[in-house]
Structure 1
Amino acid sequence: MPTTPPLRLLPERVSVARHDLRNALGEILGFAELIAEEAADLGQAQLVAELPVLQHATEEILKRLGQTLTLENLANHPDASDELGRTLQRFSQTTDDTVTALHARCAQLPSRPFLDDLQRISASARRLSNRAPELLAEMFAPVVPTLAELETVSVPPGDSGETTFFRKPAGPAATTADGENTAFITRAEVRPPATGTILVVDDTESNRALLTRRLSREGFTVAVAEHGRRALDLLRRHAFDLVLLDIMMPEIDGHQVLTAMKADPALRHIPVIMISGLDDLDTLVRCIEGGAEDYLTKPFDPVLLRARIGACLDKKRLRDREREHLAVIDEQRRRADELLHVILPHSIAVELKATNVVQPRHHPHVAVLFSDVVGFTAYCEQHPATEVLVHLQALVRAFEEIAARHGLEKIKTIGDAFMATAGLIEPVANPALHAVRAGLEMVQAARSLRSGWEIHIGVHSGPVISGVVGQRKYLFDVWGDTVNTASRMCGLAGRGELCVSEHTWRELAADCTGVSAGTFPVKGKGDLQVFRVETSR
């Protein structure tokens, strides 16, 4: 006579049984608590007086389930699962009887309160009764089936892309989120309310409904996703402050969703609380190591749920504030860098940022250009300030563009005077020629502007010293006899003329045409011959 092979305990099946049975019991307990709270809010606690007894019985069953469905207990007492199954059957029948009586009582009232929630409790009790024998028996099955064979979950196919966000009902008598309390929001259009926007991800509809009701009562805005793909889609399209993420789901489970979120720079800052009927340490550790903020087992204690969510949202708000402050600092640093490059030549700005100091430099051969507006002081006295500034801005902008085209570095403006150099920052073959060609173009540009101003220009070449002065306001400048002489040449030039010293003319004679303007006494230099440059070849 053949013998029945011994059954071996399958740890993964024990986890599934514990998860699914705790889920069903959690739904019964959660909706019973909601009904009791809302009945108290409405002053109708006596209407559902049996619920505290049901709540206590559910809590006792949960304790017993936790004690029975451990690997050690089942290995030593395999018959304990049979006794647990009979207990669950009796509990399911008692629950269904209690709910039937409450349903009949509530249906007689004009407002017909709590009927939907009572039906959910009844459905959970029936599912518990139907699934418990199968789940408990499969803990000892000789062959380990796949998760897909264990439980087929129906995912609603209608994924239209629209998202329903549930908010706390407007009136105390409302028990569901109706159309007026439902909204569709996007990341760019509406900021989440102060209490926070939460995404609930669970493949079981009753779990989603329970959490939605619970969180809406607390004042949170809630959206739901029935599977992992939908959750990731919603997270990329809307702004959420927190995700409550179930672990055991088809297609993409909670661990995979968590990994995808933490790998996405746009989503990694959103805190995640993992929710599951699994209460083993390995699962908890894996979730925390994967980046979850916290871990909650079903059924939820409302006070603990509120505390954990509050703590996560508080930390997120602090992190968001830190990110905003860092963004402001980065923007201020960027603007400071831009301003620094406006004030200083690029290479000088880089040196100042890197070392916090700019070493003074001696340049053996640089051309210095000065330009000045003829009669500028009298013009200022005869015209409005805004008009003067508009014309001066147009002139300086034109000179900056000309200087850049000819390889000159603008040093500064002093009133209507414009100062630039050639060969200072970037070496050029003939600094004086670059400066003169830029100066001749500046004369023509000034005449073409609406102001009709005439300018005179002076150029001199020779050694200079450069450096940065000031601490509160940086100024890059050049000094030396070459600078002073260029300024004197500008003062000696007539209306629309460009004058250079004899020393500089020797560097220009092969490439320019010009005439001697005569010999003039120059302070600190004695008599100097001055040349007026007319064209450049």
Structure 2
Amino acid sequence: MTSPETARVLVVDDNEANRDLLRRRLKRQGYEAMVAEDGFRALELMAEHSFDLVLLDIMMPGMNGYQVLEKMKADADLRDIPVLVISALDDIESVVKCIELGAEDYLPKPFNPILLKARLGACLEKKRLRDQEKAYLEKLTIEQGKSERLLLSILPKPIAERLKQNPRTIADSFNDVTVLFADIVGFTKLWSRISPTELVELLNEIFSGFDKLAEKNGLEKIKTIGDAYMVVGGLPIPREDHAEAIAQMALDMQHRMAQFNRGDHEPFSIRIGINTGPVVAGVIGTNKFIYDLWGDTVNTASRMESHGIANTIQVTEATYERLKDSFEFERRGVIDVKGKGKMTTYLLLDRLPALP
């Protein structure tokens, strides 16, 4: 924001008497004034100092006022400085040329002191308003960036873009994805032994580590429910290797928990379940909306976790068939799954060595 107390004005004129006259008048009006005897020196000073207004003569040796204007408007750091041309050239062609080159205003010599004061005030007021608008737009950009980051922390980027363009119901069918559920075994029992703040901090540390693993493996975290974590591969952007990516995520989660358990706190176990198949994905809610999944594939993946064994990764036969050539498994056998009946399941152990 510019004001007489803070505004800095550069006087550019090859005539020493004119420079001194303008400098004295500017100082009497409360402005800080600097002078340059030619265009080259003016550009040097503009590179070294910040100016709110330039009073520019046209007829100067070496580099005339037109050339100074062209240089200023071609420079991103200088183009917004308003220029008031004060010149003995008073023909309409000169005035038009200065305005076309970007000058804010034009004042013929010899200038009227009252008119000069009015033009100075008008130019600086315009700059003040432009500065105010620029500051507002910068603040708005920052706030929009915050809103964008918040939105992307809730929704996948492609879904967020679709919602911004057309805020209507989003529901998509995906024929082939892999869903993972994980649960921290015995975590809720800690409620009676440690404070809620400590409990949430522990859970946040664990899940933040899982978030990084999901990002590393190119997977989409769907949600956390208490001490349970849900992630999916193959949507919203389909990918052929979604089962492999989820399997690697599961192994990485086990490794991450082993690292976490080396800390100075009670060790935890993790139980993981995985299933592959079709799902429906969409956004529900209007205020606190969420991107979620539905379908038998999701329910079965959840059952693989809840019917699993601590510190193991249990997968369905559908997932096993997709991964048996690249990962090592142990057949758990037939188990009774609530709501599903008898199912043959497998325990994921490790990734097989790559073939030479």
TM above 0.5: yes
TM-score normalized by the length of structure 1:
0.60
Contact 1:344–1:476 (8 Å) recurs in 2: yes
Give the TM-score of the pair, scaled to structure 2. Answer: 0.88
1:320 is displaced (CA, Å) by 1.1
Q: Which has the larger radius of gyration?
A: 1
1:452-463 equivalent positions in 2, closer than 5 A: 452-463=267-278
Q: Which residue of 2 aligns with 1:310?
A: 121
- Please tell me the residue identity of whatever aligns with 1:304: L
CA distance in 2, matches of 1:285, 1:406: 61
Q: Within 5 Å, which residues of 2 pair with 1:27-106?
A: none
1:268 aligns with 2:79: yes
> What residue is the counterpart of 1:223 in the other structure?
34
**Structure of higher RCO (CA pairs closer than 8 Å, 6+ residues apart):** 2
Q: 1:526 aligns with which of 333, 341, 344?
A: 341
* Structure 2 letter corresponding to 1:520: D
- 1:466 is aligned to 281
2:184 alignment partner AA? V
Instruction: State the distance in 2 between where 1:437 and 1:302 align.
Output: 78
Distance 1:301 1:266 in 2: 31
How much has 1:407 moved relative to structure 2? 4.0
In 2: Cα distance, 1:470 partner to 1:244 partner: 59
- The one-letter code matched in structure 2 to 1:369 is L
> Is residue 419 from structure 1 mapped to residue 234 from structure 2 by the alignment?
no
Pick one of 314, 321, 330 that aligns with 2:132: 321
- Would the alpha carbon gap of residues 198 and 532 (structure 1) be closer, same or farther in structure 2, given more than 3 Å must change? same
In the TM superposition, what are the counterparts of 1:143-292 in structure 2 within 5 Å?
Answer: 194-292=5-103
User: What is the Cα deviation at residue 532 of structure 1?
Assistant: 3.3
Residue in structure 2 matched with residue 444 of structure 1 by the alignment: 255
Shift of 1:517: 5.2
Cα distance in 2 between the residues matched to 1:534 and 1:284: 82
2:203 partner SS: helix
Between structures 1 and 2, the one with greater helix share: 1
Measured in 2, the distance between the counterparts of 1:503 and 1:276 equals 84
Structure 1 residue 378 displacement after superposition: 1.6
SS at match of 2:332: strand
Alpha-carbon offset, residue 455 of structure 1: 0.7
SS of residue paired to 2:106: strand
Shift of 1:426: 4.4
Is residue 310 of structure 2 the alignment partner of residue 495 of structure 1?
yes
Equivalent residue for 1:516, pick from 321, 332, 341: 332
Q: Percent identity, aligned pairs only?
A: 45
Give the partner amino acid of 1:310. G
- The 1:408/1:280 distance shift into structure 2, 3 A limit, reads closer
SS of 1:488 mapped into structure 2: helix
Paired with 2:15 and 2:159, the residues of 1 have a C-alpha distance of 65
Q: CA deviation at 1:494?
A: 2.0
Distance 2:330 2:5 in 1: 76
Question: What secondary structure does 1:520 align onto?
Answer: strand
Q: Residues 513 and 267 from structure 1, CA distance in 2 versus in 1: closer, same or farther, beyond 3 angstroms? A: same
Q: What is the deviation of 1:357?
A: 4.7
Q: C-alpha separation between the residues in 1 aligned to 2:49 and 2:4?
A: 13
Q: Secondary structure at the match of 2:110?
A: coil
Q: Is the 8 A contact 2:272 2:314 kept in 1?
A: yes
Say which SS state the counterpart of residue 472 (structure 1) adopts.
coil
In 2, Cα distance between equivalents of 1:502 and 1:465: 21
Partners in 2 of 1:260 and 1:535 — Cα distance? Answer: 65
1:508-534 per-residue CA deviation (whole Å, 9 max, x = no partner) reads 4454321325422413x2343443333
Distance in 2, matches of 1:420 and 1:227, equals: 67
Separation (CA, whole Å) in 2 of partners of 1:341 and 1:307: 51
The CA deviation at 1:203 is: 0.9
- TM-superposed CA distance for 1:315, in Å, is 0.9
Bigger mean CA deviation after superposition, 525-534 or 200-209: 525-534
Cα displacement (A) at 1:441: 2.9
Deviations 1:124-161 (A, max 9, x none): xxxxxxxxxxxxxxxxxxxxxxxxxxxxxxxxxxxxxx
Q: Structure 1: state its 5+ residue gaps.
A: 1-190
| Contact kept? 1:192, 1:239, Cα under 8 Å | no
Q: Following TM superposition, by how much is the alpha carbon of 1:218 offset from its aligned partner in structure 2, in angstroms?
A: 0.8
Structure with higher strand content: 2
Render the CA deviation track for 1:222-243: whole Å, top value 9, x for unaligned: 1111111111111122111111
2:294 alignment counterpart: 479
Pair 1:267–1:407, CA change in 2 (3 A): closer
2: CA distance, partners of 1:379 / 1:454: 13
1:120-139 pair list within 5 angstroms: none
CA offset digits 1:477-497 (Å, max 9, x no partner) = 111111111111111112212
- Report which stretch shifted further, 365-374 or 391-400: 391-400
Q: Which runs of 4+ in 1 moved over 6 A?
A: none
Equivalent residue pairs, number: 346
- The match for 1:340 is 151
Structure 2 residue identity aligned to 1:531: Y
Is 1:431–1:461's contact at 8 Å kept on the other side of the alignment?
no
* 1:233–1:385 CA distance, 2 compared to 1 (3 A): farther
Unaligned runs of 5+ in 2: none
Secondary structure of the structure 2 residue equivalent to 1:240: coil
- Structure 1 residues 475 and 256 mapped into 2: Cα distance closer, same or farther (>3 Å)? same
Distance 2:21 2:43 in 1: 21
* 1:427-465 Cα shifts (integer Å, max 9, x gaps): 444544442332133123212212522110111121100
RMSD: 2.4
1:234-265: CA deviation from partner (whole Å, max 9, x where unpaired):
11221111111111111111121122212222
Question: How big is the shift at 1:300?
Answer: 2.6
- Which shifted more, 508-517 or 245-254? 508-517
Residues 245-292 of structure 1, C-alpha deviation per residue, up to 9 Å, x if partnerless?
111111111121122212222212111111123333332222222222
Q: 2:72 is aligned with what amino acid? A: M
